[in-house]
Structure 1
Amino acid sequence: MKVFDNKHIKNVVFVGAHHSGKTTLSETMLFEAGLLNRRGTVEQNNTVSDYHEIEHQRGASVFATPLHTEWRNYKINIIDTPGLDDFIGEIISSIRVADTISMVVNATDGADIGTEIIWNYIDKYNKPTVFVINKIDADDAKFDDSVQSLMQLVGNNATLIQYPIKMDGAQCIIDVLKMKCYKFGPEGGKPEKLEIPDDQKERAERLHNELVEKAAENDEELMELYFEKGSLNEDEMRKGIKLGMLNHDLFPVFCVSALKDMGTGRLMGFIDNVAPSAADLRPEQSVEGEEIKRSVDADTTLFVFKTLYQPNLGKVTFFKVKAGEVNVNDKLYNARTGEVETLNQLFIMDGKVKHSVQKLTQGDIGATTKLKSTETNDTLNEKENGPTIKPIQFPQSRIEKTVSAVNTSEEEKLNDALKRIHSQDPTLKLRYNNETHQTVIGCQGELHLLTISWALKNIYDVEANFDIPKISYRETIQRSATANYRHKKQSGGSGQFGEVHLKIEPYFEGMAEPEGFNIRGKEEIDLPWGGKLVFYNCIVGGVIDTRYLPSIMKGIQEVMESGPLTRSYARDIRVMVYDGKMHAVDSNDISFKIAGAHAFKQAFVNANPKLLEPIDEVTIKAPESMVGNVMTDLQSRRALIQGIDSEDRYQVLKALIPRGEMSNFSTQLRSLTQGRANFTSKFHSYQTVPTNIQKRLTETTEAVGQDK
């Protein structure tokens, strides 16, 4: 297979809302370039990119799929992505390695909610973008409305290159860059090139002049030429358009019918001649602050952006060559692990079909198999101390569920399967909660969860239960209390004896030392689960030997690991051990551990115990028109609104919400805002649970205890 230099490699990622036609457009481009003899369709489950079984069942993309084609001495690497933001990880990782984004918009819907969600990620990465309005031949197509919706999304920087018309019943496209009219037959394909019809010349000239001005704005030399000549030629316009795209100031708008192969060849020509290549992009900074040289002569650096497991290939690692070139059998250092990986094979992937190559150069995208320890976001370098490419930042989980095997004997099998799914989908978060003893997964939404469940059952042959995670409550006290306990046991030979008298109080930072006690020692313990235990030795006269105090404290800590209200961790308590008794023969560590634990538990129950719940700080970004609905929902969740700010077309709400009220928040927010809102959350503090909720939780814990 031919090796292309970085000036002739174009990496284009197709993104867009659900059913915008990305997969069909990808298929048509491969057909147009002669790589396919016959185009497949999504409906017939025979497209190159949607080849996974779950994609066939759903009739839509779930995975981002790398493809490639060659067009007029250029190599175009294409990544076809899903349209639903439940699979946003696939979209983000593809955007990260793109040189140009092709945002596909359905002409019947315009820039809808799905377009807006994806655009926010494109804008964040500041990537050159082309808008492609698809399905222009549909009976209900609304091209002008679609253009207006794009301008509402990105402003006047959305600049028409083409617009569709009907002429003598035939579908035509007016191209204002080339100033030509392309007339298509009923089945599309190669168009007839015509002069622009008289009734369209005025509009075409106006749009052409607007395009010239936009192109000239991006370069001083072009601006001088424009003022001098009053216009620019096609090559000068191409230069200006490319600069505008690189500056994120110009977004060309094309129109196609991917299904009928109308306008696809012209779009491919624009990608070849105008869209930025890998060599055109600005230098990239590594994690260490070094500049990654976009040169074939530089030391080799690869960035892994995707991992996939295929039945016939095993683990497939997709990468972009950031610098240098990579050859078969090269040995590269993993910047994260330090291990050496041997690339025994190199591939160009077209869906599930692999094409072996001997070498890939800077800017190209390829794949390899059987790497030992390399995962998504890793950097592979020619030299041991090479740079680290900045990792892809995947979004926070929107929902969390506990997961367990239906058949308890398959727990290990389930965990292995989840680890493999996480390897190819980093937006699946996996953790074990030591406090609740539950395996918890985080994902992007209900549909994402359904695909995980499907994969577990159909690929890894393990059925799983999903449930709402238990909330990690905390327990503490509201007043002081005293208690004593004598542990005495005699069963022949040496017995057990220990008696402990203690007082407990609520603890807070900066409080005065306890009064009325002869303090002989103090130990302040930062508890692993948060909060503190402050332990005072107030023993007078040696009634308890100091060697037994650590055992007393150990018994207290064991009780604090399972509080009497809900078996939750206890925190923020100080204990004064001030009296007791011991026996010269029968006293030992275990006796005082038991006595200390029982005395503490009695005092805790008498100290007006209270339950604390975790409160999350939640930041919600929602369209202004939908804030009212969001506020109503927050009020039903016992939320405390902290403030509201404006950000572009959105309102940003900050609120404190009990974690116990967050279980269905993501799904409800998506429903209330038609998917246009998003949120992030982080732990804020523990606060007192309302009395009625504490009573319910305590009664539930008691009922469970009785059942056992």
Structure 2
Amino acid sequence: MTTTEAGDIRNVAIIGHKGAGKTSLAEAMLYVAKATAKLGKVDDKSSVLDETAEEKEHVCSFEASVAHLSWAGKKVNLVDTPGEGSFLAETRLALAAVDAAILVVSGKDGVQPITERVFGWVRDAKLPCMIVVTKVDAENARPDEVLAEVRARLKAPLAVMEERVGEGLQHRGVVAIRTKKAWLDRPEAPATAAGSPVPADAAGAVEKARGKLVDDVAGSDDELTERYLTEGDLTQEELDQGLRAAVRQGALIPVYFASGVRPSGVAALLDGIVELVPPPTEHPAWSGVVPSGKPGAAPQAAERPSSAEAPAAAFVFKTSIDPHAGRTSFVRVLSGVLRPDATMLNASTGGSERLGKIHSVVGKDHKQVDEARAGDIVALHKLKATLSGHTLSDEKHAFLLSAPELPPALFSRGVRFDAKGGEDKVGNALYRLTEEDPGLSVHQDASTRELVVSGLGALHLEITVERIRRRVGVDCRLGPPHIAYKETISKKATNIEGKHKKQTGGHGQFGVCYIDMEPLPRGGGFVFEDAVVGGAVPRQFIPSVEKGIVKSMSKGVLAGYPMIDVKVRLFDGKYHDVDSSDAAFQMAGSKAFKAAAAQCAPVLLEPIVRLSVTVPSVAMGDIIGDINSRRGRIIGTDSVESQTIVNAFVPLAEVLEYESKLKSMTQGKGTFTMNVEHLEVCPPMVQDKVIKESGFKAEADED
């Protein structure tokens, strides 16, 4: 398969809220353009884009899918993205790899929370955008009301590109205002892609709509405005050129109406993509850095032009790992030319990667290409250590793209399994999943030894468990992660004896130590002071006392959690020339610590997170009230347009289920971030509850 010149490529990401019809629209585009032999449908599980078992089971996109089609002599690369909030990391990366976005809004449901969120990303990235109102042929469709919602809530400069004929179940089709082509009274298919002349009964409405489009385009440019005021109209060439420029600059957002199921409005949308979306040759220079390659040296800011003549660089925006086919990396070629078997630098890690074969993809259909030039989107197979978000570049001309910041993994759960050996299997499978899912992370809690998986939401982790069960056949489940509590002391104790004496048939065991113990400021860790004089404790046994204390501290005295922020001063002791040993003084140190801790008023410390919640301003009162009920402390609020950001300190134990609560309080419009900030002493009632639930029983020291 031959390569395509950058000027003949269009790269678009299809974005929007879940259920808006993104995948159905993409399937219709592939079908009408003859990229697929039949119309793939999500509901009957025949979609070529939603191909994983989990996507088919839940009838929802959980991964970005890549496909291409040919239309009017141009290659259109489509990236169909998830619209479920738990999987937006893939959407974020996909937007960094394309030249424009198609925002899909349901003609029944209108603007929804994720609609606003992803559109905000598009505007922040200064990406050209088109909007498609879908499901216009569905019962209870309300496309005109939805269009008004888009104007009001997204504050977008819209330019309506089509005149609809018929409403809802009586929908007959669309007429393209700019090209004056009509697709009416039958579903669009490859045979009808060219369209028909405008029927006489729709001509008047189309001319009126064209007048409004000319107004919008003329208003986007001073020169066109002057021409329009002088001539009273724009020529077709002026209209087309002005619209292209306005779309490229973000001054206008074309609006189309479509049904992916019928399909309808698809051919006009494809015409709009190839004629209005800028090719990769017009993409601004890519911003990034040149890695220094030297430890401690700062990287230098750099730009890389989107040109085939520049050194090669490619951005990996999606990774897929198949148990049989292995790893597939989907890349946007930023610059230069990629060739099979070339060796490239992974600028993100500093390692080398040897490229295998290069493919152009439609679902599971992979066609090998001779090379991939700047601007194209292709699949690379069997890269060893390159993950989503990494940049590959020419070894002699290193370049690291400034990748977008991904949504943080805020929802964590402990992984439970009953099968023998399940921990290793599940752990390995989870770590492999993190290689292909940029929103997923996994770690073993150092305090609780529990395997903890973190993601962007409850559904994210549920789907992760389903994948584990399917891939490794181990039945695992999720439970709340154990909170990493700590223990400490709140007052000083002095002259505490730790004595270990044991007589056996041979040598006995004997060691005595005397310690003082006091609390340190938070973050002080553990301090051991050797204040022994006169050889009361032989020098070789002083580390033994410390070792015994440290071992006991690791298990605490209240609920089995590690004890921190403690100073111990060893100042005296006794020993026996024959019976004293390392083990004896370790036991003496342990006993001294436990005796001292009992007199130092031990307390439990709980992790406190800094919580930042962004919500519509009308919901601020409810949010603050809810945070207060969670033992939170409000530290400030900020207002940004119609949004309010509430900042607070809240115990981690109180926000494990915060995602679902926030969603219900704000109808899904609220977002939050949090990170563990510090530790604070638990209130007595909370401490008593944690101790009781821990079931902790202190180990008795040997006599």
Q: For residues 184 and 169 of structure 1, do their structure 2 counterparts lie closer, same or farther at Cα, with a shift above 3 Å needed?
A: same
Describe the SS at the equivalent of 1:10: strand
Deviation, 1:378, is 2.1
- Aligned pairs for 1:311-460 (under 5 A) are 311-460=323-472
Higher alpha-carbon deviation: 163-172 or 335-344: 163-172
Q: Distance in 2 between matches of 1:250 and 1:504?
A: 70
Deviation, 1:680, is 0.5
Deviation, 1:322, is 0.8
Mapped pair 1:568 → 2:561:
yes
Q: Distance in 2 between matches of 1:181 and 1:239?
A: 19
Who is 1:500 aligned against?
513
The number of residue pairs the alignment matches comes to 683
* 1:337-394 deviation line (CA, Å, top 9, x unaligned): 4443332311111011111111111110111212222222222223245111223432
Who is 2:590 aligned against?
597
Q: Cα RMSD over matched residues? A: 2.5
Higher alpha-carbon deviation: 451-460 or 483-492: 483-492
Return the letter of the residue paired with 1:150: V
Mapped pair 1:671 → 2:664:
yes
Describe the SS at the equivalent of 1:193: coil
Deviation, 1:231, is 4.4
The answer as to whether partners of 1:338 and 1:384 remain within 8 angstroms in 2 is: no
- Aligned pairs for 1:12-161 (under 5 A) are 12-161=12-161
Deviation, 1:411, is 2.0
* 1:520-571 deviation line (CA, Å, top 9, x unaligned): xxxxxxxxxx532233333344433444333322222222212101111212
Deviation, 1:431, is 0.6
Q: Distance in 2 between matches of 1:26 and 1:699?
A: 55
The answer as to whether partners of 2:360 and 2:378 remain within 8 angstroms in 1 is: yes
Deviation, 1:587, is 3.0
Higher alpha-carbon deviation: 672-681 or 86-95: 86-95
Who is 1:524 aligned against?
none
Q: For residues 560 and 234 of structure 1, do their structure 2 counterparts lie closer, same or farther at Cα, with a shift above 3 Å needed?
A: farther
Q: Distance in 2 between matches of 1:703 and 1:570?
A: 14
TM-score by length of 2: 0.91
Who is 2:274 aligned against?
272
Q: For residues 169 and 538 of structure 1, do their structure 2 counterparts lie closer, same or farther at Cα, with a shift above 3 Å needed?
A: closer
Q: For residues 464 and 384 of structure 1, do their structure 2 counterparts lie closer, same or farther at Cα, with a shift above 3 Å needed?
A: farther
The answer as to whether partners of 2:156 and 2:253 remain within 8 angstroms in 1 is: no
Return the letter of the residue paired with 2:340: V
**One of 281, 284, 309 as aligned partner of 1:282:** 284
Describe the SS at the equivalent of 1:563: coil
Describe the SS at the equivalent of 1:265: helix
TM-score by length of 1: 0.91
Deviation, 1:650, is 1.3
Q: Distance in 2 between matches of 1:211 and 1:142?
A: 23
The answer as to whether partners of 1:536 and 1:577 remain within 8 angstroms in 2 is: yes
Q: Distance in 2 between matches of 1:227 and 1:199?
A: 23
Q: Distance in 1 between matches of 2:466 and 2:686?
A: 36
The answer as to whether partners of 1:316 and 1:367 remain within 8 angstroms in 2 is: yes
Deviation, 1:214, is 3.9
Deviation, 1:186, is 3.7
- Aligned pairs for 1:194-213 (under 5 A) are 194=198, 197=202, 200=205, 203-204=208-209, 206-213=211-218
Mapped pair 1:686 → 2:691:
no
Q: Distance in 2 between matches of 1:344 and 1:703?
A: 55
Q: Distance in 1 between matches of 2:419 and 2:698?
A: 24
Deviation, 1:685, is 1.1
Higher alpha-carbon deviation: 542-551 or 386-395: 542-551
Describe the SS at the equivalent of 1:569: coil
Who is 2:294 aligned against?
none
The answer as to whether partners of 2:306 and 2:335 remain within 8 angstroms in 1 is: yes
Q: Distance in 2 between matches of 1:339 and 1:537?
A: 47
**One of 193, 197, 201 as aligned partner of 2:197:** 193
Higher alpha-carbon deviation: 596-605 or 309-318: 309-318
* 1:4-53 deviation line (CA, Å, top 9, x unaligned): 11111101111122222212211221222222332122222212212222
**Alignment gaps of 5+ in structure 1:** 510-529
- Aligned pairs for 1:504-519 (under 5 A) are 504-508=517-521
* 1:650-687 deviation line (CA, Å, top 9, x unaligned): 11111111011122111221222222111100111111
Deviation, 1:696, is 2.0
Quick one: percent identity of the two aligned structures?
A: 28
* 1:454-493 deviation line (CA, Å, top 9, x unaligned): 1111232121131111111111112211311222233355
Describe the SS at the equivalent of 1:141: coil
Higher alpha-carbon deviation: 98-107 or 162-171: 162-171
Describe the SS at the equivalent of 1:618: strand
**Alignment gaps of 5+ in structure 2:** 291-300
Q: Distance in 1 between matches of 2:8 and 2:591?
A: 77
Following superposition, which runs of at least 4 residues in structure 1 exceed 6 angstroms of deviation? 167-170
Mapped pair 1:621 → 2:614:
yes
